[in-house]
Structure 1
Amino acid sequence: MLQLYQEGSELPQIVTFCKALDTLLGGGIPLQAITEVSGVPGVGKTQVCLQACVSVQLPRSVGGVGGEAVYLDTEGSFTVKRLKDMAACAVHHVGTIGGVAEDISCFTIESIMKGVHYFRCQNCVEVLAVIKNIPKLMLAHPNIRLLVVDSVSFHFRHDFPDARDRAKLLRSITKELIQPAVTHKMAVLVTNHMTTHVKEKGSATLVPALGETWGHCPTLRLNLSWCGPTRVATLTKAPHCQNSSAYFQVSVGGLRDISDNTQPSTAGILQHDSPHHEPLTKKRRIIESNNR
């Protein structure tokens, strides 16, 4: 257990450039784990994925992972221009904090674009094919540290009328995802849709799709929602942090903390259980100013 603890504490995490969101996640998106991001359309799920594709390539000299990303696009929501905008802001920021002693010459917009391996999956068969061939892809690109599936529910919600067949396949996919994540120290980031769950006496609520069977598969579950005009990220499942929420915004350069004059609360993190609890975070040199 001591060895596992030491190995886990030495692993870097993928920052989001939003301090409140990184604090909520315990330092950022973790490696060797499956992180699910769910929410209604337009709340920012794909923006989180694009930001992660840029952030995973941050140089190790400034506290980053220094890896590459694989992006499985099932909905056609991937936008190259958004990725380029986020990359430009990340390159500018690293240039301002790197200093003359740090070698950041290889961190450019072009290198970031080359470091994202994109697959457009038209059906669940193509999704399975890409996931199963990740180990082969890593033979040619051993520096891959992030796998994004946006979204995991798009094809599987409608192509499988039998819920039992779908649950069986989703368990198989989970094994295919977690194996390279643990073996190669990767992060797996998936997005999920919301669906209506009807309770007793006719009441209903929005919950992540794919049912309770899939709910056990992700290591972390992050739900994005709206609080008026402000985006809120709520951590609903995590082995290392209490359930809590954080405000964030999507700017031209990507995910950022919201400014004090637009923040609905005096604190970026809202604790649901204990007001004295603060998730453990790792010290990082990447600190982005608000609204940058």
Structure 2
Amino acid sequence: MNTNRPLDELGFPAVVISRLLESDFVSTDDVQNLQPAELGSATGLSLKESAEVVRLVSATSISEPQDVLQIIEDESDIPHIVTFCEAIDTLLGGGIPLRAITEISGTPGIGKTQMCLQVCVSVQVPVSVGGVGGQALFIDTEGSFTSSRIKDMASHAVHHVQSISTDNPDAATFTVESILKGIHYFRCHNYIEVLAVIRHLPTLLQSHPNIRLVVIDSVAFHFRHDFSDNVARTGLLCQMTHSLIQLAGSHNLAVIVTNQMTTKIENSGSSQLVAALGETWGHCPTLRLSLHWQHHIRVATLIKAPHIRTSSVNFQVTVAGIRDISSGSVTQNMAEAQNSKKRKWTSDDS
């Protein structure tokens, strides 16, 4: 149902309508997602007048209810981005889902960024080969993006796709060069720049309609270090998440955010590692995937997901990217785990 309506049909005073039209606000869609202060700044309306406009527009934008059968059918049709690790794809119900926010948390070196880089490559697998044929946007807050690593993953992905689809013309156009061109990159040095990029996303998605993946690596970095007021931080995070989930739904794309870990002290005095940013943030992502070490093997645990049972699987990070684990790779994973611990001890001593 199309709920877009001309603003002059909503019964606003003539002076308000005049200000809106002069500022190119013609329909309810033009006002959607704006805060009163933003509308007032753009039109010259008072804060009270702007708040009333936003309130009435929101009230007229409520669509007709859906029946539950339609909801189930819609959810069953949601595409997924494969990770090239069958165990993780099965864990997630087919891969990273579009129209949702997936959080990936874990300690340094466990593979969060590697997972993001892998999905930036695999989102571009052609539809005819079982992919979604999209592009990716990578918002880098920690400087962890490595173009040479992307190139390695792309090379192996191209080899795999072309080896299983020798007669498919779409597979022939899936090249390392096309993959590198299909990843758009922003480096953000503070939370203001992160919010600015997210605010710019609707415009960017209009000019790049094939983007099917937005990655923020990591969402925690600036929001943990640049804020002393946790309430203000939580408010901004919730607003940001609301904007992202709307974009995910309206543009049929997946959002991945990585998160750091922090130590939570229990009332008993014991402690445990948990995802950062607090319990309120924990309700924001649609899915939450936790990566951790267990007996020198990387483990992915699904800790939150609608309609999917919580469980864990093993995986590995190889030269090719994120892959299923095999018995022959256990020794390699043990060595990587030991090296990771040595780096942590060195960092703690310095």
TM over 0.5: yes
| 1:222 equivalenced with 2:289 (yes/no) | yes
Q: 1:113 aligns with which of 180, 183, 192?
A: 180
Give the conservation status (yes or no) of the 8 Å contact 1:12–1:63: no
- Superposed, 1:174-253 pairs within 5 Å as 174-253=241-320
Aligned structure 1 segments of 4 or more residues deviating by more than 4 angstroms: 261-264
How far is the alpha carbon of 1:261 from its aligned partner? 4.5
CA deviation map 1:109-149 (0-9, x unaligned)? 01100110000000000000001111100111000100000
| 1:45 equivalenced with 2:96 (yes/no) | no
Specify the code of the residue in structure 2 equivalent to 1:259: S
The structure in which a higher percent of residues are strand is 1
Distance across 2 between alignment mates of 1:153 and 1:5:
33
| 1:153 equivalenced with 2:220 (yes/no) | yes
The residue aligned with 1:271 is: none
Residue 274 of structure 2 aligns to a residue whose secondary structure is: strand
Specify the code of the residue in structure 1 equivalent to 2:265: V
Distance across 2 between alignment mates of 1:260 and 1:237:
29
Residue 157 of structure 1 aligns to a residue whose secondary structure is: helix
- Structure 2: runs of 5 or more not aligned: 1-67, 332-350
Distance across 1 between alignment mates of 2:77 and 2:129:
15
How far is the alpha carbon of 1:102 from its aligned partner? 4.5
How far is the alpha carbon of 1:177 from its aligned partner? 0.7
Distance across 1 between alignment mates of 2:243 and 2:320:
33
Q: 2:91 aligns with which of 21, 24, 31?
A: 24
Q: 2:134 aligns with which of 56, 61, 67?
A: 67
- Structure 1: runs of 5 or more not aligned: 265-292
Q: Percent identity?
A: 62
Distance across 1 between alignment mates of 2:173 and 2:167:
14
The residue aligned with 2:57 is: none
Residue 196 of structure 2 aligns to a residue whose secondary structure is: helix
**TM, length-normalised to structure 1:** 0.88
Between 1 and 2, higher relative CO (CA 8 Å, sep ≥ 6) is seen in 1
Distance across 2 between alignment mates of 1:218 and 1:233:
17
Specify the code of the residue in structure 1 equivalent to 2:221: F
Give the conservation status (yes or no) of the 8 Å contact 2:83–2:322: yes
CA deviation map 1:23-71 (0-9, x unaligned)? 1111100000000000000000000000010010000011100000100
Distance across 2 between alignment mates of 1:82 and 1:4:
39
How far is the alpha carbon of 1:104 from its aligned partner? 1.7
How far is the alpha carbon of 1:21 from its aligned partner? 0.6
Distance across 2 between alignment mates of 1:98 and 1:4:
34
The residue aligned with 2:171 is: 104
CA deviation map 1:168-220 (0-9, x unaligned)? 11110111110110001110000000000001232110000000010000000
Give the conservation status (yes or no) of the 8 Å contact 1:247–1:263: no
Distance across 2 between alignment mates of 1:262 and 1:81:
23
Distance across 2 between alignment mates of 1:10 and 1:167:
32
Number of matched pairs: 264
The residue aligned with 2:154 is: 87
The residue aligned with 2:233 is: 166
CA deviation map 1:91-122 (0-9, x unaligned)? 00000111314432221101100110000000
**TM, length-normalised to structure 2:** 0.74
Distance across 2 between alignment mates of 1:40 and 1:162:
24
Q: 1:3 aligns with which of 52, 70, 89?
A: 70
The alignment's C-alpha RMSD in Å is: 1.3
The structure in which a higher percent of residues are helix is 2
The structure-2 alpha-carbon separation of the partners of 1:98 and 1:202, relative to structure 1 and needing over 3 Å to count, comes to same
The residue aligned with 1:124 is: 191
